[in-house]
Amino acid sequence: MKYQRWARPADNPAGRAALERRGVPALPALVLSSRGVDSPDKARAFLSSNLERLTDPFLLKDMDKAVARIRRALADGETVSVYGDYDVDGITSTCLLTSYLRSKGCAVIPHIPDRIEEGYGVSRSALDVLAGQGVTLVVTVDCGITAVEETTYAASLGMDLVVTDHHECKECLPAAVAVVDPHRPDCPYPFKALAGVGVALKLVLALEGPDRTEALLEQYGDLAAIGTVADVMELTGENRTIVSRGLASIRRTRRPGLSALLRESGLAEKPLTSMAIGYTLAPRLNASGRMGCADLAAELLLTRDSARGEELAKTLCALNRERQAIEADIFAQCIELADALPQEDRLALVLSGEGWHQGVVGIVASRLSERYSCPTFMICLQDGHGKGSCRSFGGFNLFAALEQCADLLDGFGGHELAAGFTIPEENIPAFRARMNRLVWQETGGEEMVSTLNLDAEITDLALLTLEEVEQLDLLEPYGAGNPKPVFLLSGCTVVSATEVGGGRHLKLRVSVGGQVFDAIFFSATLRDTGVSAGDRLDLAFTPQINEYRGWRSVQLQITDLRPALTRAQSERALYERFVRGEPISPREAAFLLPSREEFVVLWRYLKERSGPAGVEETPRKLTRNLSRSFGRHAPFPRTMICLQVFDERGLIRLERRGEQLSIHLHQVGGKVDLEESGILRRLHQLMDDSDL
């Protein structure tokens, strides 16, 4: 199993039925209702990508000041620098604002810092160079919110700063002409999940006015969509509109470099989805920044020369292959380092090393956090100083944690889930100890568990037809806040299992309910999974349409798999979920609810067996004996619930020591109404929403 725990919400048949009555197809209705989007109004609001979803950009604090200063620069013919970041969000932000300002006749000098030489954010050395080039206004995109000293320094050089960013704010903001960031504590903007490129887009929309919104989204939506998806921002609210519109415009893009990259990466003839951007396009754009030449990706997006676009697209793909090789080498080194750490130092994984490539450690940190189920901090050492990248796990707030380690750091910035920092080498042991303590305080010392969130169990195979699976496109675009649906299919029998893709992926044929499906498990092997023909498995999967030589069929893209439980194991697992208070479906609640006859048979059995010491039995023996008395199978869960109800209503005293049950009958005068039991009321309540 890739994930230690599979979590599934309770079924919502009433919500699903309400959506289907209003025309939402069955499979999307199943997903939406399980995610709490369980009414037609909620579904309409969630699925909408209309322009009406876009909020007035002037609700962003200081947007009026930013617009006024930029308009003055345009009117006075000033030279402006757009100062960005070296990741995809920063690159697309830089290109979007640069393209817009140039279309207005402005002299623009885009600047994206070198990850290796300059590092993240606004630097004094870069400001010196820009001042020497005659720049009088610097507009930051996707950076600048922590550039307090640098803003003051820019003013001493005769340059104004307009900061646009989307990162978390520290207590002190830069004394810039304008600071536009939805995360400002005093910013009333209702949608906080804009990417850096989203804020840049809002700036352009503010500069042009509402009448130009449609045209500007067509012109710059491709860049905004790529940056938003690449930065793993929530694809809800405004971002859903931005990305939906942008995906449509990518195919029509007038950027020859982007068109060339689509061809070079194999996307020219494939559907352009958010997943295609996230897993194919973004890594190639990101490779330039990671390998220390982000200006190449910016040039690709800005060039109007088709031949130069083709050349740059090939270069970016080659850089991505180089990045993958370096990443694999560092990852292997880190596995050895992590496995050598004592257990008490693995609540938060803090690793450091000489010679690591600063551009790839963030990706390695992500992989390590998934492997070891904990927040991970990767530190590249050089000349006694370290540059760190970190990735969260289990919702641990990295930015807040780094704030509590500020005395050990030279600087830091970022988000709750991903951040960067600099640190003196001698402070790393203290940083490791404190970060592990912070994680311990949040988790109570318990090990974090990797959890796979399932949307629903597929019990009706009619939902896995071509027609039904195609309807899932209604939920696009997928991403943070709207992940690809993951379903559960229980009790599948493996017909065949082979490795494909040079032994890197696992292809299965599985049989369930009399039907056979092809399934693919990427980055998994026979050795990894131990799967062989004849095994019974539960599959967590996303259904997709596979096209091969003109033939279209439903294929299960596996997210994880596990051995299928036996009937007894399934029943026991359901009971334990109920006892822990975890969600169960109305159908499962109906299964757990004992019948009157089951109460009667158990009570007679206890009276017959009870002696001075009560009844001492294991649950297994008890259910076996009851099955003989009952004349049919007595499920363990209902037997245990009967006992708990008797105990709750004062008929018995129930004690459980390990696998041993100790049951003592009480003398009770008069009749006892079992229906007054809180346990039974809870089961009835869980069934009330069912259409059983």
pLDDT digits (tens, 9 = 90+) for 570-621: 888 889 989 988 888 888 899 999 999 999 989 999 998 888 888 998 888 8
Q: How far apart are CA 456 and CA 125, in angstroms?
A: 54
* Torsional sign, CA 633, 638, 640, 643: negative
Strand runs (DSSP E) across 276-366, as ranges? Answer: 349-354
- The verdict on 60 and 189 lying in the same domain is yes
Whole-number pLDDT of residue 190: 96
Cα dihedral 352→357→359→360 (10° resolution): -70
Q: How far apart are CA 297 and CA 256, in angstroms?
A: 13
Whole-number pLDDT of residue 415: 80
The per-residue pLDDT for range 142-181, each reduced to its tens digit, is: 999 999 999 999 999 999 999 999 998 888 999 999 999 9
Q: Is the peptide bond before 477 cis (omega within 30 degrees of 0)?
A: yes
- The verdict on 207 and 78 lying in the same domain is yes
Q: How far apart are CA 188 and CA 184, in angstroms?
A: 9
**What mean pLDDT is predicted for residues 485-512?**
95
Q: How far apart are CA 112 and CA 92, in angstroms?
A: 11
**What mean pLDDT is predicted for residues 459-488?**
94
Residue in 475, 479, 512 with CA at minimum distance from that of residue 494: 512
Whole-number pLDDT of residue 228: 96
Q: How far apart are CA 112 and CA 322, in angstroms?
A: 21
Whole-number pLDDT of residue 118: 76
The CATH number of whichever domain residue 406 belongs to comes to 3.10.310.30
**What mean pLDDT is predicted for residues 489-503?**
94
**Which residues are 520's β-sheet partners?**
507, 557
The per-residue pLDDT for range 96-113, each reduced to its tens digit, is: 999 999 999 999 999 999
**What mean pLDDT is predicted for residues 120-143?**
95
Residue 410 lies in a domain: yes
Domain total for the chain?
3
Whole-number pLDDT of residue 53: 86
What percent of the chain has a predicted confidence (pLDDT) above 90? 71
Whole-number pLDDT of residue 165: 97
DSSP states along 393-427:
STT--HHHHHHTTGGG-SEEEE-SSEEEEEEEGGG
Residue in 280, 247, 284, 252 with CA at minimum distance from that of residue 266: 280
| Domain span holding position 157 | 55-211
Question: At a CB cut-off of 8 Å and minimum separation 6, what does 5 contact?
Answer: 449, 450, 451, 452
Instruction: State the burial class of residue 368 (Cβ atoms within 10 Å of its Cβ: 0-12, 13-18, 19+).
Output: buried
Residue 200 lies in a domain: yes
Higher-scoring residue by pLDDT: 653, 548: 653
Q: What is the DSSP letter of 478?
A: P
User: Tokens 């309400």 belong to which residue?
Assistant: 18
- Judged against a pLDDT cut of 80, whether residue 1 lies above it is answered with no
Q: Give start and end residues of each alpha helix (H) in 415-566.
A: 428-443, 466-470, 526-529
Whole-number pLDDT of residue 689: 55
- The verdict on 447 and 575 lying in the same domain is no
The per-residue pLDDT for range 20-74, each reduced to its tens digit, is: 999 999 999 999 999 999 999 999 989 988 888 899 999 999 999 999 999 999 9
Strand runs (DSSP E) across 57-159, as ranges? Answer: 79-83, 107-111, 135-141
- Band of residue 625 on the pLDDT scale cut at 50, 70, 90: confident
Q: How far apart are CA 163 and CA 84, in angstroms?
A: 10
**Three-state secondary structure call for residue 390:** strand
* Torsional sign, CA 90, 92, 97, 101: positive
- The verdict on 59 and 200 lying in the same domain is yes
CA distances from 636 to 35, 444, 571, 608, 618 (A): 31, 33, 7, 20, 11
Q: How far apart are CA 396 and CA 394, in angstroms?
A: 6
**Three-state secondary structure call for residue 385:** strand
- Judged against a pLDDT cut of 50, whether residue 692 lies above it is answered with no
Residue 511 lies in a domain: no
CA distances from 135 to 72, 78, 397, 447 (A): 14, 7, 38, 52
User: Tokens 């257990």 belong to which residue?
Assistant: 343
The per-residue pLDDT for range 254-287, each reduced to its tens digit, is: 999 999 999 999 998 888 899 999 989 999 999 8
Q: How far apart are CA 191 and CA 241, in angstroms?
A: 13
Domain boundary pick from 187, 211, 235: 211
Domain boundary pick from 451, 466, 497: 451
**What mean pLDDT is predicted for residues 521-535?**
92
- Judged against a pLDDT cut of 80, whether residue 86 lies above it is answered with yes
- Judged against a pLDDT cut of 60, whether residue 520 lies above it is answered with yes
- Band of residue 444 on the pLDDT scale cut at 50, 70, 90: confident
Residue in 159, 242, 236, 230 with CA at minimum distance from that of residue 200: 242
Strand runs (DSSP E) across 5-53, as ranges? Answer: 5-7
Residue 621 lies in a domain: yes
**What mean pLDDT is predicted for residues 383-391?**
92
Q: How far apart are CA 36 and CA 23, in angstroms?
A: 18
- The verdict on 574 and 447 lying in the same domain is no
Question: Is 22 in contact with 36 (CB distance < 8 Å)?
Answer: no
Instruction: Kindly report the number of other CB atoms within 10 A of residue 162's CB atom.
Output: 26
Q: Crossing angle of helices 282-290/294-302, nearest 10°? A: 130
Residue in 305, 329, 315 with CA at minimum distance from that of residue 284: 315
Report the helix count and the strand count for the chain, using DSSP H and E: 26, 21
User: Tokens 């800005």 belong to which residue?
Assistant: 302
CA angle centred on 73, ends 67 and 76, rounded to 5°: 135
Q: How far apart are CA 280 and CA 258, in angstroms?
A: 13
Domain boundary pick from 413, 432, 451: 451
Q: Give the mean pLDDT of the chain.
A: 92
Whole-number pLDDT of residue 691: 44
Question: At a CB cut-off of 8 Å and minimum separation 6, what does 519 contact?
Answer: 507, 508, 509, 510, 539, 541, 555, 556, 557, 558
**What mean pLDDT is predicted for residues 340-366?**
89
Higher-scoring residue by pLDDT: 440, 358: 440
Provide the residue type at 466 as one letter. Answer: L
- Band of residue 125 on the pLDDT scale cut at 50, 70, 90: very high
Q: How far apart are CA 99 and CA 117, in angstroms?
A: 26
pTM of this structure? 0.80
The per-residue pLDDT for range 629-647, each reduced to its tens digit, is: 766 667 889 999 999 999 9
Residue 120 lies in a domain: yes
Residue in 119, 118, 99, 120 with CA at minimum distance from that of residue 110: 99
Residue 237 lies in a domain: no
Residue 532 lies in a domain: no
Strands 107-111 and 79-83: parallel
Residue 616 lies in a domain: yes
Q: How far apart are CA 503 and CA 509, in angstroms?
A: 17
Q: How far apart are CA 3 and CA 562, in angstroms?
A: 9
Higher-scoring residue by pLDDT: 566, 604: 604
Provide the residue type at 465 as one letter. Answer: T
The CATH number of whichever domain residue 661 belongs to comes to 1.10.10.10
Report CA Rg, the chain: 30
* Structure-token pair, residue 567: 């009937």
The CATH number of whichever domain residue 147 belongs to comes to 3.90.1640.30
Instruction: State the burial class of residue 119 (Cβ atoms within 10 Å of its Cβ: 0-12, 13-18, 19+).
Output: middle
